Amino acid sequence: MEFSELIKTATVENVQLSRPGQPAVKGTLCITSHHLLLSSCPGGDLELWLLIRNVDAVEKRLSGSSGTITLRCKDLQVLQLEIPGMEECLNIASSIESPG
């Protein structure tokens, strides 16, 4: 089975990215078969490309109708994604955890 077949939610709007020592950024999160992409809202200048196999651990926290995914990467980066919609949050986390 191709990894792209395991992606239940490919795009989510209004995702907030938080990283230690940097201001939070809101944008659109896209997931492909190899990368996680976050592009800041119009007028922003951030575009983050994260190789999915660089993710070492995925932590999920759900609260109400949204959720937070914390990604701990092999290069010691820690990224926190606040995702509106509980189902979208669970789908994105599942897609990141799936490749083996």
Strand 55-63, strand 47-51: pairing:
unpaired
Q: What is the pLDDT along the chain (100 residues), one digit of tens a residue?
A: 454 566 677 889 999 999 999 999 999 999 888 889 999 877 678 889 999 999 999 999 998 889 999 999 999 999 999 999 999 999 899 888 875 5
CA distance 84 to 12: 8
Other CB atoms within 10 A of residue 44 CB: 11
Instruction: Tell me the pTM.
Output: 0.86
